[in-house]
Amino acid sequence: MPTSPLDKVAHATPRPVARRIRGLTDRAIAWIFVAPTIFLLLAVNIFPLIWTIRLSFTNYRVNRPNRDVEWIGLRNYERILTDPDIWATMQATAHFLIWTIVLQVLIGFALAYLINKKFKGNDLWTTIIVFPMMLSPAVVGNFWTFLYQPQIGLFNYAVAFFTGVEPASFSMIGDVHLAPWAIVIADTWMWTPFVMLICLAGLRSIPDTIYEAAECDRASKWRQFWTITVPMVLPFLMLAVLFRGIENFKMFDLVVQLTGGGPGNTTTLTSIDLKREAFEKWRTGLSSAYAVILFVTVFGLASIYVKALNKVKER
């Protein structure tokens, strides 16, 4: 009678299967287990990428499937990289990316630092702060549209309260200078809690003994902050920047719901422009080249970032 779990499994295996597997090496069995995952990865990730690269060298339009597809070389890339409108969308994305990351890291870290102190109602405050992150971007975009309304929007009234400016005298999503900031504020409101949670994990991983040793050496709170807290939270912060950076580079839903890319093209980020090229103008070849450019940029940035992260972790 089988006694160990291994024996039980061996006895439970049907004879024909057991006969087939008996002759295989460990390496072959490992390949059998890994093969479905590799196949799925190739089908879902690698094949579409290669197909997109191939399409980027053609004039293919998905709304005219019967038209002959011409190989046009680097013309799509040339067109994208000399187009001032696409250049403007890159700048809009850079503005959005830089400011959201700066604000989210600063506010997120400050909130985590405060929440990490032991006080009454700590858990309740954590739940309240994390709440925006749980909402759908479409919902957030919709209600920030109401908050930004010049006549009835609470945001305008709050600004009016602090500055004395007439609430109806400015429109956050209708003004070309304010709209880029409107999307930065909404995204910061939504995703700062995410950065806060990551920083909080970092702060809670620092053992108290290090602070106690620093106290014994009479290190000031300021010095403890810069020589213990910041270096030990840095890998977590960098991870948060990596996640938010990649995520905001592809930002689409929140901005579409909030401004639709307007007024004019001031909040048209690259992902919105890419979607217009692909599914409104139906320039599939051109939009594939656009996607390849964005992919290489994000991939390159992520590579150097992961390298920096590993260096910080080694310290």
Residues that bind another protein in the complex, under the rule CB under 8 A: 77, 81-82, 84, 87, 90-91, 93-94, 293, 296-297, 299-301, 303-304, 307
Smallest gap from residue 79 Cβ to another protein (A): 11
Looking from the CA of 82 toward its CB, the CA atoms found within 13 Å total 6
- Nearer CB in complex with another protein: 82/209: 82
- Nearer CB in complex with another protein: 90/206: 90
Smallest gap from residue 81 Cβ to another protein (A): 5
Smallest gap from residue 83 Cβ to another protein (A): 9
- Nearer CB in complex with another protein: 88/159: 88
Smallest gap from residue 308 Cβ to another protein (A): 8
Structural tokens at position 59: 């004039």
Whether the Cβ atoms of residue 235 and residue 313 lie closer than 8 Å to each other: yes
- Nearer CB in complex with another protein: 143/305: 305
Smallest gap from residue 180 Cβ to another protein (A): 13
- Nearer CB in complex with another protein: 80/186: 80
**For residue 209, what are the contacts with CB-CB under 8 A and spacing of at least 6?**
none
- Nearer CB in complex with another protein: 189/243: 243
- Nearer CB in complex with another protein: 92/199: 92
Smallest gap from residue 244 Cβ to another protein (A): 16
Smallest gap from residue 95 Cβ to another protein (A): 9
3-state secondary structure of 58: strand
- Nearer CB in complex with another protein: 156/288: 288
Spatial CA neighbour of 59 closest among 36, 79, 43, 31: 79
Smallest gap from residue 170 Cβ to another protein (A): 24
Cα separation, 23 vs 218, in Å, equals 69
